[in-house]
Chains A and B, each alone.
Chain A
């Protein structure tokens, strides 16, 4: 078998274009959100936009390097990369710099990096490699399922220990990948039900919920053909739901930290504390809401310019879009982002190698999860969890890791033609 160099034309230029547009738009938004009259130049490296510009350069170079590396490299070094990111994560636990309460940063020469960002594509690579192995059947083999879960939970746990809830939750996005690879739909549904139940449990006393679930179960049993096992399963589900609902309340009061409790309360609209925990969300909604239909225009957002929204250039970057470009701009942005996700989904599905496909799905799901939480948070629909909006938010290591994440996939995708050719050789 002869090795074939991938033809450059096979690189998915459309995705690269979308990436470029998003990154440039992100830079414009960062510029708008931290703009100071005293530092008007976008290449002023003392400001966030100047720093971001440097990071864009770095990311481009790294991205370019990835595109010229042999695609087999990623398959071969998947476990190594995964292992290295785990070591980094553990190292951070010991020597990390604490920023905003989470000790998840490594500081090198003035630039801070967050290993958790790199653990994302490390995990994606490792999971893809493991599941694409011979005789590995995720659907049927219990052992495979457990190992997959371990691959995901290990970095999750370390990141949780670093007090970095946001990044921890991002790993939940792998559930969609596993769903694609054969995880039964009911687990996804059960997970969703549990989320709904948890929210309800925080809003209402558990007794009401248990009664409600029981009534639903009775109605369900009346409507379907009752087999013995179905009745048992239903009763079991009700009992589990009851226990779950009761334990949520306990966990909320005893396990969660005060600031997390208050964030959840704010989200649920329980005690909206405009000055305290609710401040971010309230200001975020004000900024977005005041944008109106057409927005205030670039650099015209008063809420932005005058720093009413905290973390404006990082976690709350969507406020800039909402305020300065209005409803029209926000819809266009969301449309554009979903188009990227759709494009990546198509690309993932067209992969012939399992490794490529699983990795592709990981990329889509990680990006989607960030989008879901980040934008939902600025709109007051999701709890305030500090995770960036990929390619848009300010943050060097985030941009770099998302670039690596995406470009590895573009590189893998570019090879599919060569695989075809190999097949016909």
Chain B
């Protein structure tokens, strides 16, 4: 009897303790560990890539600290709230994109920024990376799955408007990621394989159409990708130099801060989009394998968490966010190593840069929310 009592007390306190630590915080320790490992490693690479500048590292660390807070904050919202909020969010962000088109700020040949003078300057397209999967997931979760023709049509419409606006800025990278996030929701919702095959076929057939609708600089990027040696000092320079950096790193790498390609400034954009080349040059194949393993574990854990969500919205949203994260990694590493054309996609959690890391961490916050909330929220 006494034993039973004490066991009960013990079990309850243990549960209580668990509740106090992770569940009440709505965090997943494994995902957090993977995130922090990659971010920490990224800061080490950034220190070298930025020419031993502590300024860059400090700014990046502060940004991630803030992003972690945002993640923590977002993780507190229940998926139900998010689902209700999705439509409103979608409409607001779409209006912002329209505003960007009208009154946005130009930079580097594109109109991507929305500036509220003296307060903030940001890219609404970044927010769409969250709004899009939320909205599609919110819509589909209310429908009978797998989605039918009508559902698909609605989704296509929901997707088409913002993607068109973003592509018009022009921002190929982001519009592609936004499209991917929507497509992943649909795929995860159980779209029939036959249909997927047909769509892929149509997509390939539509390639020439895409070509004629591209901007000159985008075409140039594709051409350069196909044959970087054609313009070794112009647009081909980036790819040649990044391949040289990666290749010269070898298996063991040249050592931290010893990469000649990056330290001697041959490598362009070395602390932003091309930072993975710095890592590959200085830490070699081993470093790359470690990095890719971390990403793989992160994605796998994310997929597991999504699948543990208690409702369809959470599953679809979480799964889409994780797979979009994968697209980030794949496109970035692919373009830097010369297997994909150069599109402006940063290496997530590592590249130095503004809004992208914040939206990414916010996405992970949502993932943690869908994973943790079902256990505590009474139905």
Q: Do A and B come from one complex?
A: no
Binding site for A on B (CB under 8 A): none
